[in-house]
Each structure stands twice: as structure tokens, then as C-alpha cells.
Structure 1
Amino acid sequence: MATKQAKRTAQVPAQRGGTGTTARRLLERAGTTYAAEAGITLADKPSPLYRLLTMSVLLSTRIKAGIALSATRELKGFGTPRRMREATWQQRVDALVRGHYRRYDESTATALGQGADLMHQRYGDDLRKLRAEADGDPRAVRRLLQEFPRLGPVGADIFCREAQGVWPELRPYFDRKALQSAERIGLPTDPDGLAKLVRAADLDRFAAALIRVDLEPDLLS
């Protein structure tokens, strides 16, 4: 019997009908963004963007995605930088534990508090100011995001994959993990080639679907 690791890395053949059919099938079966699963109705507004940032921090650690998303939902009550700052460290820890985000709960609670302080000092509690500072350059967005505590390259990629739904200048955003997944299922391996397979409005869902099928190859079987 194949191991789970072997299942993840095995080549999955493209579905009949070509790459367009595979892309549509992928959207139908796995095209839910991680923000949507976490209960975030993403919009170019301060609170949902901040919640997306929080989710990206939680997903950055080596922990199951389902647990990180559960913890994101538990932190909904601290869905603005001000509320996160006003919460005590223990309240943040308790919310993370309710979401089963153990092992990293204490250090993450500290990082979230520090990140909320940075949000206030640097961006006046509004991530749209980070967007303005980046001036339409996705690389600058990615670099500025990594100034937040516990948000490294992986977390920045997560944020940009999801935020391309409301920040069009990020499109098409497919990070290395998404591109590797595309190669395994017989899709183009460059962002522009992948972008041609779906509507611009579906690029965030498509990127999320590529990540999901990498974790669960049976989604296309």
C-alpha cells in the first residue's frame, strides 16, 4: 500500500478533455478558498484583510490546515488590530486552544499581539496602506508582509494567493507549491499559462484548489 507521502507526490494524469476540463473539474471539487473556509468574507476592507493576515500567520506553522482554520474562526472576536491589541495575551491563547492550536499557542499569541502593534504603528490599522506602499508591485507586497512577526515566505504566499481575489495587481499569483501541484496533474507550469484556464475572478479559488489537490490527490479521481 502506498504511503501518504507517496500519494501526495504521485503524478496525477490530466482528465479527458484537456487542461481546460481539468481546471474546471478542479474548481468544482476543490475551489474553496481557505479564507472562505475560515469564515472570512474577503473584501478590500480593513477587517477582512486583517483576518486574512491572521489566518496566514496561523497557517505558516507546521500544523494541519484544518486546525489553523479552526483557530482563525475562534479569533473572529479579535478581527481588527485594535481588538487584537486590547485582548490580553491569555485571551488570545485561550482562543487558539479552543481552535486546538496547541504547541504553538503561546508564541503565536505573542506574535499576534506584536503584529497588531505593528499594524497600528506602520499602517494605521489598515492593510490597504501596505498595498498603497507596494505601489502595484507583488514582490513589494510579499516583502512588506514578511515584516509581520511569524509571517515568513510561506505565509506571504498564502496571503497573496487569497488576496488576489480583491487586489487584482497580484494576479495571477501561483506560488511554487501551486505550480508544483499543477505540474503533477498535467497543467501548465507557469502563472500566465494557468491563468488562461479560468476566469480572472476565479484565480484565487483556482490557486487554493491546486494546493488542496496537492494534499488530497483523490480529489481528481
Structure 2
Amino acid sequence: MSDKETARTLLRTHGQTFAEEAGIRLKDTPQPLYRLLVLALLLSARIRASVAVETARALAGAGMKDARRMASATWQERVDALGEGGYRRYDERTATQLGDGAELLLERYGGDVRGMRKEADGDVDRLRELLTEIPGIGPTGADIFLREVQGIWPEVHPYLDAKTLQGAERLGLPADPRSLARLVKREETPALAAGLIRAALDKAVAEDVREAAGSGS
């Protein structure tokens, strides 16, 4: 199986982005970008991705879809939404981080994540630094956000960090961001990154890809 065939099979079998899984229709507007930021925070904890995704849905369902609504919610309302999603191990600390992060985003950027993009002015390393200034968003959270947002912020592309390269190695794909990005269409890179992350986290994904390719499904 060629590298392109492996990449196509990965997209088909494990290529749903985490934003899509959380019900976020990602576009360059404040609300979906904020929801992605929250999802990145949740995914960066030592907790199952499925729980983080369900919790992101619960927060949105409780009306906390933008920084202003997150900041105006009470701490207990945030805790309750986190618990509904199954995020109980980290609920109290995370409820505080979400409130503090929303306040900071409102104070510095008027609640608009695009303010960080504007301040970074095309410098992806600077953008990553700005993201990590948000409470609860460390280097891992920043990487998650950038992997997903590269489909709508062209200057970020290709963002295939060390964790995605681990998945590439497991699948026998080139462990080089630009070589990997050339295997798919530009707009498919976030989905490729999501699939590679799943491969890095679960050895069974590589086997799934091989089986799917072998069966032609």
C-alpha cells in the first residue's frame, strides 16, 4: 500500500476531526473558535477523548458557547455541565480555568479568539505562545487547537506536531510534516492530523487501517 493509499484509508476510517465529533462546525467566527478552544482545554487533560468531546457538547448545551456566556455562568453551573459530560475527575479545577480563561479572553481580545491570530501576525510560534497564556491551555492544548484550526487559518498549515508524527511512524508514513501534508488535500489536513493522533494513542488504529485497505472497504 502506498503512502497516499494509507493516508486515504486513515481519513476514511479514523479521520473525523475532534471539532466535528464535538458538533462544532468550525469556521472563522468567534463562537466556533471559542468552542474549539474549550475543546482543546478539555482534550489536553489525562482523560479519554470521548469524555472530553461529550463534555464540550454538554457545556455548549448549557449555553456556554462563547467567552461572555462562559464568564457569566456561575462556577457551580460550569461544574454541573462538566459533570454531565463525565469530566468529574477534573471538574472543580477545570470550572475555575474556564471562568478565568473566558475573563482573560474578554479583557484582552473582546472575547474573540481571532484577536490572538491578529496579534501573532502570521507567526505560528507566537500564536502558540499566546494560546498557552489562556488558563488551562498548555503546550498540549495549544497543539490540539492548532491542528484543528489549520484548515481555516492558512498560515498555520501544515501543523503536524510531534504527537501526529508518532502516529505516522506507527502507520509507516513519513515522519515529516510537509511530506505528510502532501499526501492529502490541504483542507483535509486537520482530519489527517486527527487520524494520526488516534494512531499514536491506540495501536489498534494501525491494524484497522491495514485491514480496511486489504478489504478495499
TM-score (norm 2): 0.93
TM-score normalised by L of structure 1:
0.91
Q: Which residue of 1 aligns with 2:49?
A: 65
**Unaligned runs of at least 5 residues, structure 1:** 1-15
Partner SS for 1:131:
helix
Q: What's 1:209 paired with? A: 195
* Paired residue secondary structure (1:61): coil
**Per-residue CA shift, 1:142-175, capped at 9, x if unaligned?**
1100001111111000000000011111000011
2:37 equivalent in structure 1: 53
> How far apart, CA to CA, are the structure 2 residues paired with 1:137 and 1:27?
28
* Code of the aligned partner of 1:51: R
Pair 1:36 & 2:25 matched: no
Match of 1:219 among 175, 199, 208: 208
Q: Is the 8 A contact 1:33 1:208 kept in 2?
A: yes
Cα offsets for 1:169-214 (capped at 9, x unmatched): 1000011010011012111111110011000010001100111122
Please list every run of 5 or more consecutive structure 2 residues that lacks an aligned counterpart in the other structure.
212-217
List per-residue Cα deviations over 1:43-78 (Å, max 9, x = no partner): 000000000000011111100000011100001010
Q: After the TM superposition, which segments of 4 or more aligned residues of structure 1 sit over 3 Å from their partners?
A: none
Aligned counterpart, 2:101: 115
Return the letter of the residue paired with 2:148.
E
2:148 pairs, out of 126, 151, 162, with 162
Distance 1:106 1:203 in 2: 34
Map of 1:126 onto structure 2: 112
RMSD of aligned residue pairs (Cα, Å) = 0.8
Q: Residue 87 of structure 2 is aligned with which of 84, 97, 101?
A: 101
Alignment of 1:122-201 (within 5 A): 122-201=108-187
Distance, in Å, in 1 between the alignment partners of 2:153 and 2:102 is 22
**Identity, % of aligned pairs?**
54
CA distance in 2, matches of 1:180, 1:101: 27
The amino acid of 1:172's aligned partner reads P
Query: 8 Å contact 2:167–2:198 — kept in the other structure?
Result: no
The answer as to whether partners of 1:68 and 1:101 remain within 8 angstroms in 2 is: yes
Q: Is the 8 A contact 1:43 1:166 kept in 2?
A: yes
